[in-house]
Chain A
Amino acid sequence: DADVTQTPRNRITKTGKRIMLECSQTKGHDRMYWYRQDPGLGLRLIYYSFDVKDINKGEISDGYSVSRQAQAKFSLSLESAIPNQTALYFCATSDSFLTSGGKSSYNEQFFGPGTRLTVL
């Protein structure tokens, strides 16, 4: 979906290097997510953000950090890359709506095209 873009699309790096993956969206959504996809393991949530001031860890956040620079931008960093971080990384967005209990998410998540990261 061209509304969610990821850069770079492919990256090969070496163990110990710092890597940043970037995600931008033009959908106007306030919620953004980073997932990792490995063969046979599906997609696993790394971090998610409900607005610029709200960052939350997912199920596999160790070794990763994120930055929400603006509503439209959400970056994922690997401070010191290791080979088992070789994977396909996806950014996703979703919209929210107001309820009597506060903000809640529309359920559909819109995914970017992915970044294939190889750590040698």
Chain B
Amino acid sequence: GENVEQHPSTLSVQEGDSAVIKCTYSDSASNYFPWYKQELGKGPQLIIDIRSNVGEKKDQRIAVTLNKTAKHFSLHITETQPEDSAVYFCAASRGYYGGATNKLIFGTGTLLAVQP
């Protein structure tokens, strides 16, 4: 079945360093790849997403890259701050184009700890 693998499961960085989280998906029909951030005691919240017709997308300190051939996508956070500490989930979906069900297949999550 459809599967998304996510690594690492935990990541500890010093404030100001960069953090990279990687995901691999199995369904070649996936065309939408969001990243969600989950803070303690809260539900996941979308922070950035990328569609299959784009190779890279940036939003301030956050960037996502997509390699469709290898079925890999990654989240890059630069100049990390303590408030970046959270669990991050990648996901994959077929859901962008008309009629699709928009089911998200989530990775297993990465606990990012930014040390002051």
Contacts and interface: CB of A to CB of B under 8 A. Distances in A.
Contact of B32 (A44, A92, A107): A107
A40 B102 contact: no
A53 to B, nearest CB: 16
A107 B102 contact: yes
Contact of A40 (B9, B95, B103): B9
Contact of B89 (A4, A43, A107): A43
Contacts of B49: 107-108
A43 B49 CA distance: 17
B45 A104 contact: no
Interface in A25-57: 31, 40-45, 48, 56
Contacts of B101: 48, 56, 105
A111 interface: yes
Contacts of A74: none
Interface residues of B, number: 30
A108 B46 contact: yes
Contacts of A94: 102
A49 B54 CA distance: 30
Given A94-B102, A99-B99, A109-B46, A41 B108 contact: yes
Contact of A104 (B36, B44, B97): B97
Interface string B50-94: 000000000000000000000000000000000000000100010
11 contacts: A1-B43, A41-B108, A42-B6, A43-B89, A48-B101, A99-B97, A102-B98, A104-B95, A104-B100, A105-B102, A114-B43
